[in-house]
């Protein structure tokens, strides 16, 4: 993968951070990016959390991959999360590979790349690391914390750890504890990487394994209907069946492309570590088996959003969050958006979703400013 990450903006966190695994890290880097301008009273900041394969480059062209940022449809000037109005912050998660402390960094003790000697990290560790960044930026209370998928998990973890640090919270297409199906799918990806003979080879990268992991995961991000409508049984090169194992069907060729494009921008060990963090996520367990306790001290206003065709983090799992919030009397709104684009809906141009996101933020922003005037 590209390793030209020297131009990346980084915060070196000097303070020690005790990880869930028991190890303590310090003097570690957290790569981040900001969009828009922080206003005078620092009340327009939104912390966006990225998902499994995302990074800090939320919108505009990612300078490393030269592709559009992962949330380009939602974040930018005049968009739902309007950077003319809001100050958007996003950090590469701990364990990531876009400049933040992760398994592809050099271990100062051995002078070798960490690889699987990197400590196992959790969603909680990721969130704690990002709290340092918010403190560093001098922001006392965020207008919103928002994210989809693993980003949504970080939203939930953030409000549970720092109940007074966000006016609003927008967990999208996520779950408060990773389901057996999702752990299984992640394990499939990890085993694909580990089965690649190059995985243990220090001078090479398990590109094939990582590509297969990405292909399998990519299927889970789409819906059956979406796949059928987009690809059906269409053949590649409009020819006939070749009676071979080449990519006869368009869907095969599409997945192969997705797999090979992914290995150019992602580190296989980061994939292992981040999927592990997702699997370990169980907010209910963190709060003695009662999810409501995670939210009992928060006064954040929640907007939980799910998508009708998302089978990876289906509506009922999102609703578990809503139920827990209601049970402790929290301020929560919830809507399931109709979309045939599957789990990926939160990253795509789904107008009803973007409209809800935009209007929820606007109303929250107006409410805060009205309160201040009074």
Partner 1 sequence: MKKEFKVISQIIQNNKRVLDVGCGDGTLMEYLKINQKNDVRGLEPKKDLVQKCISRGLSVIEGDAEKELIQFPDKSFDYAVLSQTLQAFRYPENVLNQLLRIGKQTIVSIPNFGYWKIRLHLLFKGTMPITKNIPYDWYNTPNLHMCTIQDFVNFCNSKNIKIDKSMCLTNEKISEITSSNMNYKNIFSQLGVFLIK
Rg of the chain (C-alpha set): 20
Q: What are phi and psi of 195, to 5 degrees?
A: -80, -15
Which residue, 260 or 362, is less far from partner 1 as judged by CB? 362
Of 85, 156, 87, 97, nearest in space to 121 by CA = 97
Interface with partner 1 (CB under 8 A), residue from 360, 372, 373, 374: 360
Is residue 359 at the binding interface for partner 1, with CB under 8 A as the rule? yes
**Candidates 29, 43, 149, 309; catalytic one:** 149
Q: Count each helix (H run) and each strand (E run) in the chain, helices first.
A: 11, 14
Residue 121, interface with partner 1 (CB under 8 A)? no
Position 65 contacts partner 1 (CB under 8 A): no
Among 332, 347, 350, 354, binds partner 1 (CB under 8 A): 332
Sign of CA dihedral 74, 316, 170, 359: positive
Among 105, 188, 326, 348, binds partner 1 (CB under 8 A): 326
Q: Is 327 in the site for partner 1 (CB under 8 A)?
A: yes
Nearest to 353 by CA among 366, 336, 332, 340: 336
> In this chain, which of 301, 341, 350, 354 binds partner 1, going by CB under 8 A?
301
Give the count of residues interacting with partner 1 (CB under 8 A): 26
Of these, 120, 198, 334, 348, which contacts partner 1 (CB under 8 A)? 334
20 in catalytic set: no
Q: Is 293 in the site for partner 1 (CB under 8 A)?
A: no
Angstrom distances, CA of residue 107 to CA of 28, 129, 350: 11, 19, 43
Q: What is the rounded CA–CA span in Å between residue 52 and residue 116?
A: 18
Residue 76 to residue 70: CA distance in whole angstroms? 12
Q: What are the tokens at 114?
A: 């960490």
Q: 113-142 in b/e burial notation, b at 16+ Cβ within 10 A?
A: ebbeebbbbbbbbbbbbbbbbbeebebeeb
> Any contact of residue 295 with partner 1 (CB under 8 A)?
no
Decide: is 352 part of the binding site for partner 1 (CB under 8 A): yes
CB of 74 to partner 1, least distance (A): 16
356 sits near partner 1 (criterion: CB under 8 A): yes
The catalytic residue among 125, 196, 267, 310 is 310
**231 binds partner 1 per the rule CB under 8 A:** no
Q: By CB under 8 A, tell whether 333 contacts partner 1.
A: yes
Contact flag: residue 362 with partner 1 (CB under 8 A)? yes
Query: Quick one: 262 or 302, whose CB is closer to partner 1?
Result: 302
Binding flag, residue 368, partner 1 (CB under 8 A) = no
Question: Min. distance of Cβ 299 from partner 1 in angstroms?
Answer: 11
Closer Cβ to partner 1, 55 or 340, answer by number: 340
Instruction: Give CA–CA dist 309/71, Å, rounded.
Output: 19
For residue 1, give the nearest of 65, 63, 51, 60 by alpha carbon. 65
Known catalytic residue: 218? no
Q: What DSSP string describes 108-145? A: TTTTEE-GGGSPP--HHHHHHHHHHHHHHTT-SSEEEE
Does 341 bind partner 1 (CB under 8 A)? Our answer is no
Quote the CA–CA distance of 139 and 146 in Å, as a whole number.
16
Q: Which of 183, 188, 335, 348 binds partner 1 (CB under 8 A)?
A: 335
Residues within the interface to partner 1 (CB under 8 A): 301-303, 322-323, 326-327, 329, 331-338, 352, 355-356, 359-360, 362-364, 366-367
User: Catalytic site residues?
Assistant: 149, 310, 343
């Amino acid at each position: 993968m590209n390793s030209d990450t020297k131009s990346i903006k980084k915060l070196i966190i000097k303070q020690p951070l005790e990880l869930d695994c028991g190890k303590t890290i310090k003097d570690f880097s957290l790569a981040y990016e900001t969009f828009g301008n922080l206003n005078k009273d620092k009340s327009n900041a939104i912390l966006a959390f990225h998902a499994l394969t995302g990074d800090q480059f939320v919108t505009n062209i990612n300078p490393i991959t030269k592709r559009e940022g992962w949330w380009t449809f939602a974040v930018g000037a005049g968009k739902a999360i309007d950077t003319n109005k809001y100050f958007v912050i996003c950090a590469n998660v701990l364990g990531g590979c876009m400049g933040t402390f992760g398994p592809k960094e050099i271990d100062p003790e051995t002078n070798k790349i960490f690889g699987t000697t990197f400590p196992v990290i959790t969603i909680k560790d990721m969130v704690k690391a990002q709290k340092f960044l918010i403190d560093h930026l001098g922001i006392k209370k965020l207008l919103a914390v928002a994210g989809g998928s693993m980003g949504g998990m970080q939203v939930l973890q953030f409000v549970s750890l720092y109940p007074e640090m966000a006016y609003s919270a927008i967990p999208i297409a996520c779950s408060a504890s990773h389901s057996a199906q999702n752990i299984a799918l992640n394990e499939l990806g990890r085993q694909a990487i580990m089965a690649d003979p190059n995985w243990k080879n220090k001078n090479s990268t398990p590109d094939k394994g990582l590509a297969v992991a990405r292909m399998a995961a990519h299927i889970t991000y789409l819906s059956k209907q979406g796949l059928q409508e987009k690809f059906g049984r269409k053949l590649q090169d409009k020819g006939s069946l070749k009676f071979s194992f080449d990519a006869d069907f368009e869907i095969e060729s599409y997945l192969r492309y997705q797999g090979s494009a992914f290995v150019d921008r992602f580190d296989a060990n980061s994939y292992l570590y981040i999927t592990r963090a997702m699997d370990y996520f169980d907010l209910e367990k963190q709060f003695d088996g009662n999810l409501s306790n995670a939210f009992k001290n928060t006064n954040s206003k929640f907007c939980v959003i799910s998508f009708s065709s998302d089978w990876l983090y289906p509506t009922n799992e999102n609703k578990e969050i809503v139920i827990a919030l209601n049970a402790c009397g929290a301020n929560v709104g919830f809507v399931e958006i109709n979309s045939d684009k599957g789990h990926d809906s939160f990253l795509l141009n789904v107008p009803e979703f973007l409209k809800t996101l935009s209007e929820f933020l606007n109303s929250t922003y107006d409410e805060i400013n009205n309160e201040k005037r009074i």
